[in-house]
Structure 1
Amino acid sequence: MNILITGGAGFIGSRLANHLVASGHRVIVLDNLSPQIHGAEPESSPLFRSLERQVEFIRGSVTQRADLMRALAGVDTVVHLAAETGTGQSMYAIQHYSDVNIGGTALLLDVIANERLPIRKIVAASSRAVYGEGRYSCPKHGNVYPASRAAERMEKGDFSVYCPHCGTAAEMIPTDEETPVHPVSVYGITKLTQEQMVLTVGKSLGISAITFRYQNVYGPGQSLSNPYTGILSIFSTRIRNGSGINIFEDGKESRDFVFIDDVVQATAKAVEYEQPLADVFNVGSGVATDVLTIANTLQALLGSAVPTQVTGQFRLGDIRHNVADLAKVRQVLGFEPSVSIEEGLRQFVAWVKGEQIQTDRYEESLKELKAKGLFK
């Protein structure tokens, strides 16, 4: 296959590109080498260097028609990963997130639709952020889908999620793809728009269109200098700098952390799926892990204890819990996560130990959020 990966020099994209090349495919990568991901000298970044002599690389942007026209020449499959990520930053860099995530996707689809390109399949990265809080269970009302939590309650130290019908405390259960979508961040809104455009245009053009609602992806290769995404990167950088860790809320908030190799396997299954398909799938581990456990485990594996404080602070737009129901992706694509959180963290930390200690910009990012009224 001739595969274009937009954002293919990023964390997921570079790993996927090398996997697909090893499987015998021709891969073209379009990436703008954003300094927020690749640093001040992007062409020296390990992610970019991992692609050398493996792919055909085009430095450019999905927001530029000429770049897309060049990258799409001779391509039959598109994996669309290019996007701005990060819930907190999206709440004030609103136009930028919209321009890149929505505008870039719209332009990509516009080129495909109007230039009569022989594209047979589009695989796009969405996010679990489209769900908002996701699916919960109420003793009285069964499955419920709560809206975002009230800041007034959280300021009083109440971080629980309540049934929207009766106000009873609700219990998290795995969120499936039939869960109503109501994103609570600008990032989530842009990802929902992306997936809806891809599925709608794909169906209208008779192109297979598959979107993945990735959970919290982590592993070797993720940015250790970007303070806006990935608590594993944030925590490990602070630990290695000897800085304390600020645990938001009560530390019991949980996420579905899915290892990079599992994400690559799921995405590759979609790329190589031979039957026509237009659908959306969760990709995760199916296991929820709380943030305090992550902080403590990282310190143990790094062999360095730092002050860890559960502060009760919180960010507007954050969810309480997250775990994915994987029944659909198992049944249709045959995907099964294979890396446990324990093994994944061991591999992540082993990689971190070999990396240069990065400048800790976490406090700087919190000051930005606080100045915008988004961090309490």
Structure 2
Amino acid sequence: MTQDFWQSRTSVFSGKKVLILGGLGFLGSSLAIRLAKMGARVLLADAMVEEYGGNLFNIEPVKDDVQVNYCDIRDEHAMGQLVCGQDYIFHSAAQVCHLKSLSDPFPDIDINIRGTAVIMEALRKHNPTAKLIKLGSRGQYGSVLKLPAGEEAKPDPKGIYEISLLAAEHIIGSYCRNHGIQGVLTRLTNIYGPRAQMRHNRFGVANWFVRLAIEDQTIPVFGDGLIKRDFLYIDDCVEALLRLAVLPEACGQVYNVGHDQPSNFLELTRTIVDVAGTGRYQHTPFSPERKAQEPGDFYTDITKIHQVTGWKPETELAEGIRRTVDYYRMNKERYW
């Protein structure tokens, strides 16, 4: 898909009904704002699970243009009602804390696996022509032997959190094959930017480093800081998801959504401190637990999504960090 072709189709969401599951969180609310501004009729569903990042202030720019339903994706009756009549469904509702899954695996199994099955059954019974876009994680790959990691790499996740997301992906694939549901599967990289939760550091390392810098604290850089990740700004992520949603050829496929220019943690931290003008960093030895969990360098190959949709990231790291710092400094009381 060429850039001109995409621009000619940006009105495709005008008047369309869009359901966003996990719609008050970081990713869901960012999608909601963009879609509402494109003329979509947006319905947000969120269980507002404590510490997951649901925040009504996230949709402040479009609060009068969207509807909100407080419900859980595990509620069969609620899902059966909400999917009716929808043209697009973005599924970003999940247990999202890797660390929590290490001590209690059952929320991952219940929310990520059973919840996804509830959604797919609701679609099968009540709206089999809707298009579902699943927001997954690059963690589903686990350890890989070749970088950048392409979609053809065999997933080998180690933790229950990542296993549950991979299972959800397989459930959706099964419904696509056996029941004709239209589904697009995505594996997202390290997304950062405005509207992410900032109250704890259990997920979203880049945003947590931004908080430390804003508070003029010391950011810990583990080891030599040269481990690489592909940090992706939220607006670029939203753009990728919307392109995949409108393209018929994307159905039934898995797509990496990441950055083709990975950065190491030392570069990330220096950029945050330089942009914020506050804070500092300090090299810190790995704890035994953290060292055991650290997978080393990881960044994804985005050739496939670029070839299919024409998408590629446009926001440089320093610019994305600047927008993030500015947002949280302006709205600190809403997120701290």
Deviations 1:58-93 (A, max 9, x none): 111101112212211221321111112132222223
**CA 188–276 in structure 1, closer or farther in 2 if over 3 Å, else same:** closer
**CA 290–233 in structure 1, closer or farther in 2 if over 3 Å, else same:** same
Which segments of structure 1 move beyond 4 Å, counting only runs of 4 or more?
A: 357-360
Aligned with 2:50 (options 35, 40, 65): 35
Contact kept, 8 Å, 1:250 with 1:312, in 2: the verdict is no
Deviations 1:296-334 (A, max 9, x none): 221121112335232222254332111111111011122
Deviations 1:115-148 (A, max 9, x none): 2424331110111101112243xxxxxxxxxxxx
Q: What corresponds to 1:232 in structure 2?
A: 206
Q: What corresponds to 1:348 in structure 2?
A: 324
Aligned with 2:137 (options 122, 127, 136): 127
Contact kept, 8 Å, 1:13 with 1:81, in 2: the verdict is yes
Q: What corresponds to 1:300 in structure 2?
A: 274
Contact kept, 8 Å, 2:193 with 2:234, in 1: the verdict is yes
Partner amino acid for 1:226?
A: H
Answer with 1 or 2: which has the greater Rg: 1
**Aligned equivalents of 1:54, 1:24: Cα separation in 2:** 9
TM-score, with normalisation over the residues of structure 2?
Answer: 0.88
| TM-fit CA distance, 1:18 | 1.9
Contact kept, 8 Å, 1:75 with 1:118, in 2: the verdict is no
Q: What corresponds to 1:96 in structure 2?
A: 107
Partner amino acid for 1:271?
A: A
Q: What corresponds to 2:294 in structure 1?
A: 318
| TM-fit CA distance, 1:216 | 0.4
Map residues 1-376 of structure 1 onto 2, 5 A cutoff.
1-38=16-53, 42=55, 45-113=56-124, 115-136=125-146, 173-275=147-249, 277-306=251-280, 308-313=282-287, 314=290, 316-356=292-332
**CA 125–307 in structure 1, closer or farther in 2 if over 3 Å, else same:** closer
**CA 359–328 in structure 1, closer or farther in 2 if over 3 Å, else same:** closer
Q: Secondary structure at the match of 1:91?
A: helix
**Aligned equivalents of 1:346, 1:241: Cα separation in 2:** 15
**Aligned equivalents of 1:259, 1:77: Cα separation in 2:** 23
**CA 230–246 in structure 1, closer or farther in 2 if over 3 Å, else same:** same
**Aligned equivalents of 2:333, 2:24: Cα separation in 1:** 21
Contact kept, 8 Å, 2:226 with 2:265, in 1: the verdict is yes
Deviates more, 1:290-299 or 1:309-318: 309-318
Contact kept, 8 Å, 1:237 with 1:358, in 2: the verdict is no
Deviates more, 1:48-57 or 1:220-229: 48-57
| TM-fit CA distance, 1:358 | 8.4
| TM-fit CA distance, 1:263 | 0.7
Partner amino acid for 1:131?
A: Y
TM-score, with normalisation over the residues of structure 1?
Answer: 0.79
Deviations 1:144-197 (A, max 9, x none): xxxxxxxxxxxxxxxxxxxxxxxxxxxxx2110001110122221111111111
Partner amino acid for 2:136?
A: S
Q: What corresponds to 1:364 in structure 2?
A: none
**Aligned equivalents of 1:184, 1:50: Cα separation in 2:** 39
| TM-fit CA distance, 1:276 | 6.9
Q: Secondary structure at the match of 2:280?
A: coil
Contact kept, 8 Å, 1:9 with 1:51, in 2: the verdict is no
Q: What corresponds to 2:8 in structure 1?
A: none
**Aligned equivalents of 1:108, 1:60: Cα separation in 2:** 13
Deviates more, 1:28-37 or 1:234-243: 234-243
Contact kept, 8 Å, 2:94 with 2:112, in 1: the verdict is yes
List runs of 5+ in structure 2 lacking aligned partners.
1-15
Which has the larger helix fraction?
Answer: 2
Contact kept, 8 Å, 2:53 with 2:196, in 1: the verdict is no
**Aligned equivalents of 2:335, 2:41: Cα separation in 1:** 37
**Aligned equivalents of 1:116, 1:353: Cα separation in 2:** 44
